[in-house]
Chains A and B, each alone.
Chain A
């Protein structure tokens, strides 16, 4: 009997401890997420809302006015992600590998300095680079002139063929600190015995990195890849700060985030459309979910055998 009441009292504690977090999280995050998925199945009919099934998705994929913008945004987003994977992560790994060598001096200084861009807001980063790359100001042409390459200068952010890649590289500049830190942490956690054993076998330097360390940090590289994926397919702020909601020049830097913003809020002559906005948000949800699931079920389970 006493045990029974004791257990009941305990149960109340659990509820009290969990309730605030669960309430806020469910009300502000989970319900709106499903609400948005649900809204994508409706459309406006005058003032009222009517069920439309998959008509919004059909419109997004098949109506040429929508599908052209959608595929453009998706394609740009994929390229944005590829730039991060090809530039950000290898450079991050290189920097982490250099930082983690045991007798390197000033390593806290390098770590702190290289992480600084990551803490700045997109607004600062976007405008800073816009000014620096601006042909009006001339910082970038002057710098190129110093190494005799002034002829290479083009207003990168203003040219359709370069703008997206430039923004991708700016984003890499901003976020390089994250892969660097996570890989650095992974490299530090490799037990000394493993490294000593490798040295006894005569595996040192580059060979040691490729054959011993890299396989051991693969799980961290997997996590960084999925974090990059989620971050990139959810990106908005940098493009909005640097190029505005129209993602110019001529939509060449439009990604799913800016496309969602324009559709939801409207721009210039087009009025905002919450239903198509929800449809785009739902597509982003499915894309991110697919990426996360691919990582959880296909990649992570295969990587686990390298862990200690």
Chain B
């Protein structure tokens, strides 16, 4: 059956619009990255041209890697992201299992209480969070950031994972119980492996805002030894505004790790969104 919706002019129009928007989405990133490989003169004379043999120059990257402590910042970001991610997934999965599996008094109420954090941003409690961290001596430690991001990530994680855990077959769990497995073993051995795809989706959703956050590193851990890459890049670029090579190189260095991770995980992420995990 020839459908009117698939006629040639319509298809061309659809591709034209999508292609145009793809260019709008990618062009700024491409312009930054290609110019980071050019000499200062070429950056200004031909900003839209890719680097050629004469204009190729790595001076920006040399400045960045020589000046900033980017390796340390990168390491801090990595520790914070992986640490929070681990705690969010472990605590979140445990709570989601309790909410999905057992009937107990206050189950629904507990679910609602935890869901509150999906809509109300943790940032609004910043004043008291800072006081809490000062009182407990955690200011300027990565632990403070890990704790905050764990609290921030838990509500959505619990919400999504409990939906998935409800789908795990009861027969399987009951079979485990008859075989004498404890509830903990049922959770770790039977249920967790089955919801692994959902865990991966939650991981990607949790990771991006943590890696990119500027607010909490700026407020809770601005010291030199605890700066994350996002805060480090922000301060570095602010300092070197007139050194265009260095700024472009720093931006490119900040873009690349995220881009590589995205290319690796994009199928997981997109499948997660389109499977209706977030509704």
Interface residues of A (CB under 8 A from B): 10-11, 13-14, 16-18, 20-22, 24-25, 27-36, 39, 91, 94-95, 98-99, 101, 103-104, 106, 108-117, 119-124, 127-129, 131-132, 137-139, 142-143, 173, 176, 181-182, 184-185, 188-189, 199, 204-205, 208, 223, 226, 230, 234, 236-237, 240-241, 257, 260, 264-265, 274, 277-278, 281-282, 284-285, 288-289, 292
- Bound-state Cα–Cα, A39 to B29, Å: 43
Residues of A within 8 A of B127 (CB): 32, 35-36, 39, 264, 274, 277-278, 281
The answer to whether B124 touches A33, judged by C-beta atoms less than 8 angstroms apart, is yes
Flag the segment in B53-61, B62-70, B90-98, B166-174 that touches A.
Answer: B90-98
Given contacts A28-B122, A123-B212, A236-B215, 10 further A-B contacts (CB under 8 A): A28-B147, A29-B117, A29-B151, A34-B128, A120-B258, A124-B233, A127-B251, A230-B121, A260-B126, A288-B120
The answer to whether B126 touches A110, judged by C-beta atoms less than 8 angstroms apart, is no
B173 to A: closest C-beta gap in Å: 13
The answer to whether A173 touches B25, judged by C-beta atoms less than 8 angstroms apart, is yes
The answer to whether B31 touches A132, judged by C-beta atoms less than 8 angstroms apart, is yes
- Bound-state Cα–Cα, A223 to B278, Å: 10
A77 to B: closest C-beta gap in Å: 14
A-B contact pairs, 9 of them (CB 8 A): A14-B104, A25-B117, A25-B155, A27-B151, A28-B151, A29-B151, A115-B266, A121-B213, A185-B275
The answer to whether A137 touches B154, judged by C-beta atoms less than 8 angstroms apart, is no
Taking CB atoms and an 8 Å cut-off, the chain B residues in 87-121 that contact chain A are: 87, 90-92, 94-95, 97-99, 102, 104, 110, 113-114, 116-117, 119-121
- Bound-state Cα–Cα, A143 to B23, Å: 13
* Other-chain contact of B273, A34, A95, A182, A281 (Cβ < 8 Å): A182
The answer to whether B28 touches A285, judged by C-beta atoms less than 8 angstroms apart, is no
Instruction: Let me know if B178 is at the binding interface, CB within 8 A.
Output: no
- Bound-state Cα–Cα, A21 to B95, Å: 6
The answer to whether B97 touches A17, judged by C-beta atoms less than 8 angstroms apart, is yes
B41 to A: closest C-beta gap in Å: 13
The answer to whether A234 touches B121, judged by C-beta atoms less than 8 angstroms apart, is yes
Residues of B within 8 A of A274 (CB): 127, 131
Taking CB atoms and an 8 Å cut-off, the chain B residues in 150-180 that contact chain A are: 150-152, 154-155, 158
- Bound-state Cα–Cα, A176 to B230, Å: 22
The answer to whether B150 touches A121, judged by C-beta atoms less than 8 angstroms apart, is no
Number of interface residues of B (CB under 8 A): 94
The answer to whether A114 touches B22, judged by C-beta atoms less than 8 angstroms apart, is yes
The answer to whether B212 touches A121, judged by C-beta atoms less than 8 angstroms apart, is yes
Residues of B within 8 A of A205 (CB): 4-5, 10
Instruction: Let me know if B198 is at the binding interface, CB within 8 A.
Output: no
- Bound-state Cα–Cα, A230 to B122, Å: 11
The answer to whether B125 touches A33, judged by C-beta atoms less than 8 angstroms apart, is yes
B247 to A: closest C-beta gap in Å: 7
Instruction: Let me know if B129 is at the binding interface, CB within 8 A.
Output: yes
B159 to A: closest C-beta gap in Å: 12
* Other-chain contact of B25, A11, A113, A265, A284 (Cβ < 8 Å): A113
Q: Which applies to chain A's interface (DSSP): helix, strand, loop or mixed?
A: helix
Instruction: Let me know if B17 is at the binding interface, CB within 8 A.
Output: yes
The answer to whether A181 touches B47, judged by C-beta atoms less than 8 angstroms apart, is no
Closest to A274 in B: B127
B77 to A: closest C-beta gap in Å: 10
* Other-chain contact of B98, A14, A32, A143, A185 (Cβ < 8 Å): A14
Most buried by B among A18, A101, A188, A289: A18
- Bound-state Cα–Cα, A235 to B46, Å: 35
- Bound-state Cα–Cα, A288 to B121, Å: 9
- Bound-state Cα–Cα, A97 to B213, Å: 31
Most buried by B among A10, A14, A288, A292: A14
The answer to whether A236 touches B123, judged by C-beta atoms less than 8 angstroms apart, is yes
Residues of B within 8 A of A112 (CB): 263, 266, 270
Residues of B within 8 A of A199 (CB): 3
Taking CB atoms and an 8 Å cut-off, the chain B residues in 182-234 that contact chain A are: 183-184, 187, 208, 211-215, 219, 230, 233-234
The answer to whether B32 touches A128, judged by C-beta atoms less than 8 angstroms apart, is yes
Residues of A within 8 A of B131 (CB): 35, 274
Q: Decide: A36 near B126, CB < 8 A? Known: A21-B91, A113-B22, A138-B44.
A: yes
Residues of B within 8 A of A13 (CB): 98, 102, 183-184
The answer to whether A31 touches B262, judged by C-beta atoms less than 8 angstroms apart, is no
Closest to A234 in B: B121
Residues of A within 8 A of B15 (CB): 104, 106
Residues of B within 8 A of A24 (CB): 87, 91, 147, 150-151, 154
Residues of A within 8 A of B24 (CB): 173
The answer to whether B29 touches A32, judged by C-beta atoms less than 8 angstroms apart, is no
Residues of A within 8 A of B43 (CB): 137
The answer to whether B110 touches A18, judged by C-beta atoms less than 8 angstroms apart, is yes
Q: Decide: A18 near B95, CB < 8 A? Known: A120-B212, A137-B244, A264-B127.
A: yes
Closest to A118 in B: B208
Q: Decide: A116 near B31, CB < 8 A? Known: A35-B125, A110-B18, A240-B214.
A: no
A38 to B: closest C-beta gap in Å: 8
